[in-house]
């Protein structure tokens, strides 16, 4: 049997426990996660540098960075064309490409850069996709995109899809529009969070040697998650355009 003070102290610790501490910034009266914005700005800067290097001194025969950036563009173009189709993929290529590159950069930044070495007053630096707010924002942006795609092509007739093929499917079709952003956001968030937690635990138990293969697996998984998110976004847009 444990003494009474053991249980009281245990309950006190549980009551004071916090999940997901963050370093907050007050911007115009709104509290935002400062550590997430810092890494997002870094990812933006890296993507901008890659874009400048790839377009500087562009030649008809690609070389060095230009060759790399054109290969990346060709890959994203294939993804958009395969999902959306030849007729509409060009106008949605910037959106799909931005989604893919941003998520790819965020996932790699969390897997490669040793953020744990930087100490903050609260929270810690990590992949922005490790924060549920980031993934939910990306998922809602995708939802707005495919609603815009459907309305821009069909007008108000787009809403007929909710009662097709029979009106009895109206609740299911409405529920589907709620589950799409939920599945997108939680799939990306859960995979990135699980990968970072696994690496953190293994590093604390067996430093340096064992975590390296897991880190490489995390880099691969982060790339796959970026591809899955952008592919599903393109598929939802294609569905709205049908």
pLDDT of residue 103: 92
How far is CA 78 from each of CA 33, 70, 229, rounded to the nearest angstrom? 35, 12, 15
Question: What does DSSP assign to residue 210?
Answer: T
Q: Which two tokens stand for residue 150?
A: 């459907």
Please enumerate in sequence order all residues whose Cβ is within 8 A of that of 210, keeping only pairs 6 or more positions apart, or say none: 202
Contact yes or no for 119/32 (Cβ under 8 A):
no
pLDDT of residue 100: 92
* Pairs from 86-90 (Cβ < 8 Å, separation ≥ 24): 88/238, 88/241, 89/234
> What whole-number distance in Å separates Cα of residue 195 and Cα of residue 181?
21
pLDDT of residue 195: 77
Contact yes or no for 129/189 (Cβ under 8 A):
yes
pLDDT of residue 154: 78
Helices 211-241 + 170-205 axis angle, to 10: 170
Closest CA to 106 of 24, 191, 19: 191
Strand partners, 46: none
> What whole-number distance in Å separates Cα of residue 116 and Cα of residue 180?
33
Phi-psi bin for 166: left (phi > 0), alpha (psi -120 to 50), beta?
beta
Tens-place pLDDT, residues 202-239: 767 766 665 667 677 778 888 888 899 999 999 888 88
pLDDT of residue 14: 34
Contact yes or no for 188/225 (Cβ under 8 A):
yes
Task: Output the tens digit of pLDDT for each of the chain's 242 residues.
Answer: 445 454 444 434 333 434 456 667 777 777 777 778 888 899 999 989 888 887 777 677 767 777 888 888 888 899 888 888 888 888 888 999 999 999 999 888 877 776 666 666 666 777 888 888 888 999 999 989 888 888 888 777 777 777 777 777 678 878 887 888 888 888 888 888 887 777 777 767 766 665 667 677 778 888 888 899 999 999 888 888 87
3-state secondary structure of 26: strand
pLDDT of residue 221: 81
Closest CA to 159 of 167, 138, 233, 178: 167
pLDDT of residue 21: 66
Phi, psi torsion values for 3, nearest 5 degrees: -65, 160
The full set of domain ranges for the chain reads: 23-241
pLDDT of residue 170: 76
* pLDDT cut 70: percent of the chain above it: 81
> What whole-number distance in Å separates Cα of residue 111 and Cα of residue 86?
35
pLDDT of residue 13: 37
pLDDT of residue 209: 62
């Amino acid at each position: 049997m444990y003494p009474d003070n053991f249980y009281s102290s245990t309950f006190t610790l549980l009551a004071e426990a916090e999940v997901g501490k963050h370093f907050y910034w007050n911007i115009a009266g709104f509290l935002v996660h400062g550590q997430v914005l810092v890494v997002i700005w870094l990812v933006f800067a890296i993507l901008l540098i890659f874009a400048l290097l790839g377009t500087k001194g562009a030649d008809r025969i690609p070389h060095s960075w230009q060759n790399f950036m054109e290969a990346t563009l060709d890959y994203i173009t294939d993804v958009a064309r395969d999902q959306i189709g030849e007729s509409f993929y060009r106008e949605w290529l910037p959106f799909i490409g931005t989604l893919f590159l941003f998520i790819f950069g965020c996932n790699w930044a969390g897997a490669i850069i040793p953020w744990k070495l930087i100490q903050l007053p609260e929270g810690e630096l990590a992949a922005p996709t490790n924060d549920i707010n980031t993934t939910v924002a990306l998922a809602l942006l995708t939802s707005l995109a495919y609603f815009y795609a459907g309305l821009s092509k069909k007008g108000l007739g787009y809403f007929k899809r909710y009662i097709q093929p029979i009106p009895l499917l109206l609740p299911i079709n409405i529920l589907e529009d709620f589950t799409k952003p939920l599945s997108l956001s939680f799939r990306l968030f859960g995979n990135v969070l699980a990968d970072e937690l696994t690496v953190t635990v293994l590093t604390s138990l067996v430093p340096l040697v064992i975590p390296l293969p897991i880190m490489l697996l995390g880099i691969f998984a982060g790339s796959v998650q970026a591809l899955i998110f952008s592919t599903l976004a393109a598929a939802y847009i294609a569905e709205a355009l049908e």
